[in-house]
Amino acid sequence: MKPKVLVVDDEGMILRLCETAFRRLGVEVLCASSADDAIGKAATGVDWVLTDIFLGDKDGIWLAEQLRGLYPGLEIVLMTGDRVGTEILRKIKTLKLSLITKPFDLQELEDMARKFGRS
């Protein structure tokens, strides 16, 4: 069974880039452009979530809190191209989330697939 990732970003270009890269690595990919859409798609069962911190409707921290409440062991990686303040960094640490910065390279996605893609 292929590992499955849910990628959440309100930027279509980032969704397409991640989808293409993960598919080339043999990972099944679900894409969502909002936090609410992501919660619905996560219900289908995913191995990990890669989400932008700053989404249009709600933020990635809110999404991570909701998903951890529903799926306590779910691995969640946050991504951002913006500076992150101390409050967000504190929440990342408290929730035990990973963080990558945009622009990221394909090696980071490959490392993620290797680390979290255990089905």
Instruction: Give pLDDT tens digits for 21-56.
Output: 999 999 999 999 999 999 999 999 999 999 999 998
Burial class (CB in 10 A: 0-12, 13-18, 19+), 65: middle
Q: Give residue 69's pLDDT.
A: 96
**Nearest to 31, CA basis, from 44, 45, 18, 43:** 18
pLDDT digits (tens, 9 = 90+) for 65-78: 999 999 999 999 99
Per-residue pLDDT averaged across 8-24, rounded? 95
pLDDT above 90 covers a percentage of the chain that reads 79
3-state secondary structure 22-58: HHHCCCEEEEECCHHHHHHHHCCCCCEEEEECECCCC
Domain annotation for the chain: domains and CATH numbers: 4-116 (3.40.50.2300)
Nearest CA among 111, 103, 116 for reference residue 11: 103
pLDDT recorded at residue 84: 82
The predicted-structure confidence for 89-115, as pLDDT tens digits, reads as follows 999 999 999 999 998 888 999 999 999
From 28, 69, 33, select the one nearest 45 (Cα to Cα): 28
In this structure, what token pair is assigned to residue 110? 């490959």
What's the pLDDT at 119? 44
Band of residue 18 on the pLDDT scale cut at 50, 70, 90: very high
Question: pLDDT value at position 66?
Answer: 97
Are the CB atoms for 52 and 61 separated by under 8 Å? Answer: no
For residue 118, what pLDDT is reported?
A: 58
